Structure 1
């Protein structure tokens, strides 16, 4: 690795676990990148998000609309750019923090698991390895374990990892960690897993 700061793009899609980027996961990514000395640029689609969630009630707030980039600016402290301005060749790495909004805004996986599509600005990668946690529910610890079967049908190799761990696909240079895909995860465990992810991303960059 050279002594030059690594340029890392962080792609957000709103602000909030139910309808945008998960705030704690996003903050953990940014904090760890900052600690590693990375030069961070944040991006989000400049368009309306799929819907608006009342995060206290856990219900859809009917009749309301919010812009993903404007909402994500809360996390980015105002310094955010439209996703269509992102030029991957100008960055050493790109990180996508999680949140249910990712499956609604950056793609339609949340509503169409069998035949989902992603935004044109984002490219799918088949044949890669990744982790979303574990492929068995383990009494509620991994409530979305069945998602691993959908990934495998797409040609993805799923690797079981705990919440504090990250998996590195050396061939495709993709690093993943379960984060809040773990139903019993504590905040510090998610932070530790994301720390592992960022550490490995910086080593690959």
Structure 2
């Protein structure tokens, strides 16, 4: 049975991983008769949001502990991952991802990716194992890889131009579509960059997961 590693960035779209995208990813992996294991960074989130009113609070929360909410406790420190045990990697999105796994939300065009996350993504790709990026997570790609990658974050013109300026090859995608870089086995889908509801998000995520499993 194929095993897929999933990187989470906390719990909640504004300050961690988008919960719908994360759960739909895990569901889709199970529907493909594959196994998943969740990982996160053992560090504090950039900030904490009250998701009822979208206001930032004075709380401090740990990404690994918060990710356990989504993973039902079954989550490990990303620094302990052995990529030889996994056939592929998937990273769901969420606004918090752009704060916690990389710093697009705070640094703008000069953003970088957490070195642990970037190194693990590169290792999967170097070993010809597929990597899937969902929602805003594809924005990490040009800051991870030293070569141009075909990708999509949907149809947002400003974000697409930013990624192109960093060396990516952006393709506009509808919410139910995926973009596949066949050479490097990197797959992307817009999800809640375009989705108006959970069903629309599921359609693209499910296609991405199926392709990731197929290529692994």
**Normalising by the residue count of structure 2, what TM-score does the alignment of the two structures yield?**
0.85
Tell whether 2:192 aligns with 1:197: no
Which of structures 1 and 2 has the bigger CA Rg? 1
CA distance in 1, matches of 2:80, 2:186: 22
Aligned equivalents of 1:49 and 1:154: distance in 2?
26
Measure how far apart 1:88 and its partner are.
2.5
* Partner Cα distance (1:155, 1:165) in 2: 22
Residue 88 (1) aligns with residue 83 (2): yes
Counterpart-to-counterpart distance in 2, 1:48 and 1:107: 13
Q: How many residues align?
A: 190
> Is residue 168 of structure 1 aligned with residue 187 of structure 2?
no
For structure 1, which segment, 119-128 or 67-76, has the greater mean C-alpha deviation from structure 2 after superposition?
A: 119-128
1:178 & 1:185 partners in 2: Cα distance? 11
In structure 1, stretches of 5+ residues that fail to align are 135-143
**What is the CA RMSD across the aligned residues, in angstroms?**
1.1
Given candidates 6, 12, 15, the residue that maps to 2:11 is 15
Q: What SS does the aligned partner of 2:162 have?
A: helix
1:186 is displaced (CA, Å) by 2.0
Q: Which runs of 4+ in 1 moved over 3 A?
A: none
* Contiguous gaps of at least 5 residues in structure 2: 119-143
**TM-score, normalised by the number of residues in structure 1:** 0.90
Structure richer in helix, relative to its length: 2
Corresponding residue for residue 160 of structure 2: 148
**Among residues 131, 135, 150, which one is paired with 2:152 in the alignment?**
131
User: Alignment partner of 1:185: what SS?
Assistant: coil
